[in-house]
Structure 1
């Protein structure tokens, strides 16, 4: 028979082995990050989501990412936060549909001690752990300045806005207006949301071309899908695009191709920098100061968007104008 001493020793060995196995399992368990995005119908957010999943930490399995489609609805996004909080996600990346409504969702996560990193669009308040994205007021100014130059500082224009209440719509409209205020001979004769949709913007532009025959001299689309919808409407009416310049923003593939053809103007918003940058910042919040960023975007933008120690409250991704000369380079970048 086994002595009591041997039995105790054997149990101790089994317990120790179990503890080591548990610790190893804990160490290899992937970090779970939820990405709550406002909607996946538009090409830019599809690019953003694809780039997120191509982050080195996701590809090697050390991070598990789940992308939640908010379907352009603040309540849906709030419910998705409830799910992530209940399931104890390690971090959340948030691309909100509504500047104000999104704040309550962030507050819930903060109360549950889950870091929330904003990306692409902003949310009210100061409870975000950090924000990684472009400056949309600057975007709005760039769009308006390009259009004003294209129409010679005078004429009637129309503006296709983003979803009303989203930070990109609010801030790009602010930037638009800052420039237009300087040009009293430029008149905005119509403005309405296209909800970032190419199809909605096509219909909207067709209606405006009918309502204001021969009176529209330029178009601002607050994203590329909206601008491309306007371009399509103008072409379908067999109107020379040179007589109605169209400006967009984002740098999606179709818009870059349209720039190559001389059909529109746009600026590049780097979806990879936003998505992968946000994930690196989220991982730094989870792992602490020892974490080193793994995305290539930090070396690409080192001079304009330094990593520092990864704890900054805001990282601003720079804009780049797409021109016929650099269009092919950017096409390769977005299609890789």
Structure 2
């Protein structure tokens, strides 16, 4: 019967089945989408959590397909299938609240991760402060152009918490450079291809006028780089920054083409999994991931009772980029 139930889960779900049959917890992960590398790294980290690998947890991953309504429908499936806990990465800070309410009505604890939702029903949250990363990336661009000139901002999906908070950070840095003008500001929905198209249009509309590119993630910064190269312009004559530290972003940093701020997907995912198990077991659990030792000073476990855990950001530099690249398969 258990196999039959799991077979009926939405076709968008991917299940990690334990090697041996045992009394396992059923935990769902609901990321907003799986097309881009960052969420692929995040999902892979969940699958590598000790409790998943040893069979204590059956993990089912639902692909939200970048659609708030899809995520809401998936939460209804999770409620029907009586999951023990849910790890939620919402596409929309407001619309995601309805999904959390569905889980709460079913008595299922929800742990937020990576992006935020405006709901007081979350059991806990593990992510990073996007305002900080937005400030750091914009400051890197503004420092390179000497706090004068023109920049463009490529935003994430409008209404997602990362877009909202990173823009606040961008604006804080820009306020420190009143002589810098924002020529264009538009979303590319975390997409490299959409960002490339935007940048191609902007280079045509503002020839020789753009000095800096603030991309709210690495994918979009890389799309801008492709547009600049396609226009036969010198990438290194632009100040370009992104966020996440995805593999191609790290390579671009190593090549001197951009700046990136590493977001630790592994720590966010495995920290959220530990908390999901903690709440599913009603507190009878000690964390198994090594991320709590890695960030013991900045992000202590505190008995699992904190409502929010913020994973620190790591600026990617010439000194640490090779070590970071070595962690990628």
Global fold match (TM > 0.5) = yes
1:151 aligns with 145
**SS at 2:326 equivalent:** helix
1:297 aligns with 291
Aligned ranges for residues 157-172 of structure 1 at < 5 Å?
A: 157-172=151-166
1:199 aligns with 193
Q: Conserved in 2, the CA contact under 8 Å of 1:284 and 1:311?
A: no
Q: Conserved in 2, the CA contact under 8 Å of 1:281 and 1:311?
A: no
**SS at 1:28 equivalent:** coil
Q: Distance in 2 between matches of 1:195 and 1:329?
A: 29
1:263 aligns with 257
Which of residues 301, 309, 324 in structure 2 aligns to 1:307?
Answer: 301
**1:180 counterpart = 2:174:** yes
Q: Distance in 2 between matches of 1:205 and 1:281?
A: 41
Q: Distance in 2 between matches of 1:74 and 1:289?
A: 30
Query: Residues 168-218 of structure 1: CA distance to partner in whole angstroms, max 9, x if unpaired?
Result: 000100111111122110110101111001111111111111111000010
Superposition deviation, residue 144 in structure 1 = 1.1
Q: Distance in 2 between matches of 1:203 and 1:289?
A: 49
Q: Conserved in 2, the CA contact under 8 Å of 1:143 and 1:248?
A: yes
**SS at 1:141 equivalent:** helix
Q: Distance in 2 between matches of 1:49 and 1:28?
A: 23
Q: Distance in 2 between matches of 1:48 and 1:191?
A: 28
**1:47 counterpart = 2:41:** yes
Aligned ranges for residues 5-24 of structure 1 at < 5 Å?
A: none
2:315 aligns with 321
- Unmatched 5+ stretches in structure 1: 1-26
**SS at 2:244 equivalent:** coil
Which of residues 130, 135, 150 in structure 2 aligns to 1:141?
Answer: 135
2:89 aligns with 95
Q: Conserved in 1, the CA contact under 8 Å of 2:145 and 2:211?
A: yes
2:4 aligns with none
Query: Residues 75-133 of structure 1: CA distance to partner in whole angstroms, max 9, x if unpaired?
Result: 00000000000000000000000000001110111121100000000000211100000
265-274 or 239-248, which moves further after superposition? 239-248
Q: Distance in 2 between matches of 1:204 and 1:64?
A: 41
Superposition deviation, residue 242 in structure 1 = 2.4
**1:229 counterpart = 2:226:** no
Q: Distance in 2 between matches of 1:114 and 1:288?
A: 11
Query: Residues 8-51 of structure 1: CA distance to partner in whole angstroms, max 9, x if unpaired?
Result: xxxxxxxxxxxxxxxxxxx9321011111101111100110111
Query: Residues 122-157 of structure 1: CA distance to partner in whole angstroms, max 9, x if unpaired?
Result: 000211100000000111111111111010000100
Q: Distance in 2 between matches of 1:242 and 1:262?
A: 7
1:254 aligns with 248
- Larger-gyration structure (1/2): 1
**SS at 2:152 equivalent:** strand
Q: Distance in 1 between matches of 2:189 and 2:250?
A: 21
Q: Distance in 2 between matches of 1:205 and 1:114?
A: 43
Of Structure 1 and Structure 2, the greater helix share is in 1
Q: Flag as ranges the 4+ runs of structure 1 deviating above 2 A.
A: none
TM-score (structure 2 length as normaliser):
0.92
1:14 aligns with none
